[in-house]
Structure 1
Amino acid sequence: MIPLRPLGLGDVLSGAFTVFRRNARVLLLWSVLLSGVLGLLSTLVSTFGQQALQSRMMTAFDGNGGGDTIVAGSVTLWILLTIGLPFLAYLGRGFLVAPVAADTGQRVLGRRATFRGLWALLAGRRWPVVGWMFVQIGAGLVVGIVVVVVFVAFFAALGAGDASAGWFVLAVFLMVLGLGVVLTWLGIRFAFTVPTIALEGRPVFAAAAQSWRLTRGAFWRTFGILLLVQVMFGVAASIASAPLTIGAVLVGGVFDPLGQTDASSGIGGGALVLIVIGSLLAIAVQCITDVLSAAVVTFLTIDRRIRTEALDQRIASHLDTGQPADPFAPSAPVARPPWPQQQWAGQQQPWPGQQQPWPHHPPQQGQYRPPDGTA
């Protein structure tokens, strides 16, 4: 599946596509159940919710009374639609990393896992993954409250000082930029938490600490690879979904050719068919990219453990002798020379636990040397 050495970008990408190709049916089933269903529900609820939000706002502007209550409810609904639903879809994709990581670990060991087999492999590790999802929800709520408090306090201070509109715009830009930087930094430092839970069986906070340790000294490499992968898959998904979206528009035109949708009666049949078909086509592409992204994160986790814990030696020993029984089990860090100074072929100083290679003595003058050079 992968070479037993530190992995480059090509090794990570080829390994991810190999994992998907060799067990596409099982992995896509997991992706559809975790990512696809939540994505479809998010799209449908968001579509109908936006219509309800527009109707409520129009009622508030009519001046029939109770405008403040309607506006407050509309703002709450808008927050749920724009933040809550995408966040739930994000959590579904985050949980998808666990079965993909378990399947990737089995593939590295030369095994093939079924849907039930992956569920059994995650026994005792599913609840820590769910716990990590709740930790992210709690952290998101705390960050959201802090951001709202800071925004209100800062804008109140600017308003009291009679600041111009340009200062308000600059303040919003700097706050959004700072929030994005902090969230990105935390996302990279804890990116290996779910693969660590799935492969090593660590509890929630121990897995988060392990992810923090593995990304120490490799932040920019991890960030660059993950960013490149997301851009690549995003462009590929856009290219693949473009003709599918056009086809969905044509199908919607067949059901509602004149676009006769009564605004008071809600979304018409043709528009509903258009939304469902377009969502299904987009989600089908998204399910594939979610599996590939999860496999990439898993291989980056394995790569960091190879570089810091000599995981490649334990995998090789397991494949040769069956010991250790679980090469992905937690282990202590091992001091290894930095890559690329490591001499993998004919190295002079073996890694801890590795046998000393046989010395090579060139033939002396006059000594017989077979034609194939095996002396």
Structure 2
Amino acid sequence: MIPLQPLQLSDILNGAISTAGRYWKQLFGVAAVVYGGAAAVIAAALAVLYASLSDRIHGIVHAPEASDVTWGQAGPVVLGFAGVLLGTALLTMVCTAMVYATSASVLQEAVLGRPASFRAVWRRAWSRVLPVMGTVLLSGLITLVPLLLVAGAVVAVVVATVGAHSIAVAVVVGVLGGLVLLPLGVWLWVLFSLAPAAVVFERQGPIGALRRSVRLVRGAWWRVCGISLLALVLGSIAGSFIQLPFTTLGMFHSLRLPLDTASDPSAAQLVAGLTSYLAITLLGQTLSQIVSVTFPQLVTGLLYVDRRMRREELGPVLIEAAAAEPAGQQPPNVTSPR
């Protein structure tokens, strides 16, 4: 299914599609469980929050003037929704790390042409979630350093040039700084792009995986960048096509409400229509997220394998392992770096 030799672009794209087709239950099943579970937890948290603060929310919505709302009334609502937002961000990070780890775990079997059960993939991916999440966080923080430098420069300009022209000067500094430092951020992103695969294939820690990615990308930065960007674009297009019918269905469902009622819809009807629209849209967004995250990670994982086959002659080792090792066992010297 995946040639055990240095891969061309067509080999990488075909390999990603073939892997998704053969192991779709494992890939999309794990992603559906984690994203669906996260969506259920978030929905339950919002329902509990609304039930406990409904009186305050009602009072804020129906207040005659915004100035009539005090912090004592709005504070618990703001803090409650901020807590749910923070929890949503954390759950999203865990889900994304799980999908990254699942994609690499499936590729470990796909490159050898071996079957993999849902349970085995889940167990292997779950055991690497924290290292993958740490790797993604660490690489993201390093990549954001240029943007933080630009933001700091803008703040410094605003403080130093207080006056009528301070905003204009800050905008100019921000734009020029972004144009100068944005390439640095992209360069760092590509250097660290193979780190999640190294975490799973080689059982590296976050720092070791980042170093490993830098070594593998060295000498092929433009190739890794181009193929990674192409995978992101293809995944986004596929995700948009999946989400479009759900968004359209949700809009038509919400627009039917005024037509089905002889008079103005009640508050309960409006809430029901909005809830159904959000539910349909959230389902489409979840399915879109699964595809738009999984496909680029399969491509990145194959780029990792390709770089090792080119730099470390991993192909003959994989061929020998595929012929000699029974399914379910870890082939020797395949995941350890040379």
The residue correspondences of 1:260-279 to structure 2 (distance < 5 A) are: 260=265, 262=267, 268-279=271-282
Q: Distance in 1 between matches of 2:154 and 2:62?
A: 28
The residue correspondences of 1:349-364 to structure 2 (distance < 5 A) are: none
Give the Å deviation of 1:77.
6.7
Q: Distance in 1 between matches of 2:178 and 2:81?
A: 22
Contact kept in structure 2, 1:57 and 1:74, CA below 8 Å: no
Report the counterpart of residue 302 of structure 1 in structure 2. 305
Query: In structure 1, which of residues 62, 65, 83 is the aligned counterpart of residue 66 of structure 2?
Result: 62
Give the Å deviation of 1:220.
1.8
How many matched pairs? 327
Letter in 2 for 1:3: P
- Establish whether residue 16 from structure 1 lines up as the match of residue 22 from structure 2: no
Report the counterpart of residue 108 of structure 1 in structure 2. 111
Q: Distance in 2 between matches of 1:129 and 1:85?
A: 18
Give unpaired runs (5+ residues) of structure 1: 333-375
Query: In structure 1, which of residues 319, 325, 328 is the aligned counterpart of residue 331 of structure 2?
Result: 325
Larger CA deviation: 207-216 vs 283-292: 283-292
- Establish whether residue 95 from structure 1 lines up as the match of residue 73 from structure 2: no
Report the counterpart of residue 33 of structure 1 in structure 2. 33
Q: TM-score, normalised by structure 2?
A: 0.77
Contact kept in structure 1, 2:151 and 2:174, CA below 8 Å: no
% same residue: 24
SS in structure 1 of the partner of residue 67 of structure 2:
coil
- RMSD of aligned alpha carbons: 4.3
Q: Distance in 1 between matches of 2:140 and 2:303?
A: 25
The CA deviation string for residues 303-331 of structure 1, in whole angstroms up to 9 with x for no partner, is 11111111112112223445993343223
Give the Å deviation of 1:300.
0.7
Q: Distance in 2 between matches of 1:221 and 1:65?
A: 56
SS in structure 1 of the partner of residue 6 of structure 2:
coil
Report the counterpart of residue 202 of structure 2 in structure 1. 200
Give unpaired runs (5+ residues) of structure 2: 51-55
Letter in 2 for 1:330: S
The CA deviation string for residues 6-41 of structure 1, in whole angstroms up to 9 with x for no partner, is 111111111011111111112111111334544676
Letter in 2 for 1:62: A
Report the counterpart of residue 209 of structure 1 in structure 2. 211
Larger CA deviation: 299-308 vs 148-157: 148-157
> Alpha carbons of 1:168 and 1:27: their partners in 2 closer, same or farther (altered >3 Å)?
same
Q: Distance in 1 between matches of 2:298 and 2:321?
A: 22
The CA deviation string for residues 224-243 of structure 1, in whole angstroms up to 9 with x for no partner, is 11111211222232233223
> Alpha carbons of 1:230 and 1:122: their partners in 2 closer, same or farther (altered >3 Å)?
closer
Report which of the two has the higher share of helix: 2
The CA deviation string for residues 59-97 of structure 1, in whole angstroms up to 9 with x for no partner, is 7973337579979x969978995x985675355223311
Report the counterpart of residue 53 of structure 2 in structure 1. none
- Establish whether residue 4 from structure 1 lines up as the match of residue 7 from structure 2: no
Q: Distance in 2 between matches of 1:144 and 1:115?
A: 40
The CA deviation string for residues 118-158 of structure 1, in whole angstroms up to 9 with x for no partner, is 13434753442243355457668988876654442222123
Q: Distance in 2 between matches of 1:167 and 1:79?
A: 36
Larger CA deviation: 211-220 vs 132-141: 132-141
Larger radius of gyration: 1
